[in-house]
A = this chain, B = another copy of it.
């Protein structure tokens, strides 16, 4: 049962259920403006007693209403129960974010497969898509299949006989890592939309705190698809000396407006659900309707026309039923089902924050510099916090460690900043030779800015795109590859697949996607030069 607050949040249910509980007549639908039936009421002969034709029914609306009622009387949905068996790394220090927010502490949920070797140089970090957990593959503590189950394992494409594979739940997520549904230590309440804006770079900094904790200095590879592909590139940029190989699948170097538009509509439908309540729904009914709708839109952006043409064509869910405004064609019941399956499986606020982080992702030099300036501006806040703490407590060993950590955090940022400054000096000279190497790349300032921003990513890189992807179209994959080449990386491999599964191909096409990954991970060092 919910708290008293939830009662105030049931209005949506009440509105929805009105037509069911109260017949239209008793609502005064006819009563208010009722007029004597006109001559043409003879058309009524075979229909309902009041209208020319019978009213349509809306089982899809009734179903949403039932779920609202169930949620009102059922237990609070917990995302912790959805994914289990992960490890949790607790970083107990203030964590500065790119846009000025500070998390007092962060948790990162992670799972591993395979064994870290003595040299600690066989680790592969897998970055996930928007809503995925750290459960990329099954293991003893959680035997459910993972989201990349068949790609990872002994002798699989990501071979756990050779590699120590790590996957985390992204910062901002809800499957064990700190996110909007976590408790704000400041007042013991969930963050909700008091959670600060995060970036893909913030996610990477959090992951590398975990790598520090595991004693891993250098990754054999950073691997990711979709948002994970953005993260993979971001990791190579922030920590170029700690990433030996880079794989980015169906991602981009900067989000383009069409993909922003697709995510924008998902956020808007979610936020328009009254139960979202500006993010403060944790004690009430979750915005399951908004989440369902958001997932349906997302599914359209994840799949492709040709696949659905083959899979669903124009089949209807029940050929004998009259056409309806509720789901009717098989493609509609499929989308409906996708939405329903997801609507209580993922924290709505996590969706908003992480989807926004994807929109903001931009490897351009100007954007990186802006974020660096912001970090510099906000660093004193961390010092202030630590000083404040010292005033509250006796300085002891624990506090010293905090201070040390804070310094390390500051130094890490400074060195990245120095790297930027160096680039700035370089680009002050006319870069004629670079321009000559741009092939299909545009020479407009925005592209040049991106080329400059990709500098320093010089490890062997695999970029893979899918021709039927509308969310991260192949021209964006080509852009990654060409910008890397133009910025000086001469070890870039670019594959374009003609698979028909759209953006989701990376989850499905074991042979083509898995094969490319394996090939790149297992290249001999001298082959990859």
Contact = CB atoms under 8 A, between A and B. Distances in A.
Interface of A: 3-5, 8-9, 11-12, 14-16, 18-19, 24, 27-30, 32-46, 48, 50-56, 58, 60-61, 64, 94, 99-105, 184-189, 191-197, 254-258, 260-262, 264-265, 267-269, 271-275, 277-280, 283, 289-290, 293, 296-297, 299-300, 304-305, 308-309, 311-314, 322-332, 335-336, 352-353, 356, 359-360, 362, 381, 384-385, 388-389, 392-393, 446, 470, 473
Contacts of A41: 104, 185-187
A186 B29 contact: no
B60 A283 contact: no
A45 B186 contact: no
25 contacts: A5-B28, A11-B15, A12-B15, A15-B277, A19-B278, A34-B187, A34-B188, A34-B189, A37-B186, A38-B188, A42-B104, A42-B389, A45-B388, A46-B381, A51-B194, A52-B101, A56-B193, A61-B278, A197-B323, A256-B305, A257-B309, A260-B332, A265-B297, A297-B297, A328-B359
A318 to B, nearest CB: 14
Nearest to A374: B322
Given A19-B278, A267-B325, A325-B193, A384 B55 contact: no
Contact of A35 (B52, B188, B335, B388): B188
B189 A30 contact: yes
Contact of A257 (B35, B54, B293, B329): B329
Contact of A314 (B278, B290, B300, B362): B362
B362 A37 contact: no
Nearest to A329: B260
Contacts of A195: 53
Given A188-B33, A331-B260, A265 B293 contact: yes
Contacts of A36: 188
Interface of A is mostly: helix
B99 A278 contact: no
A265 B27 CA distance: 29
Contacts of A94: 43
A314 B293 CA distance: 26
Given A41-B187, A269-B269, A385-B43, A53 B101 contact: yes
Contacts of A30: 187, 189
Given A43-B104, A329-B257, A335-B264, A271 B51 contact: no
A353 to B, nearest CB: 8
A186 B40 contact: yes
Contacts of A186: 37-38, 40-41, 43-44, 50-52
Given A99-B322, A185-B39, A188-B37, A29 B5 contact: yes
A323 B46 contact: no
A214 B259 CA distance: 48
B101 A40 contact: no
A53 B178 CA distance: 14
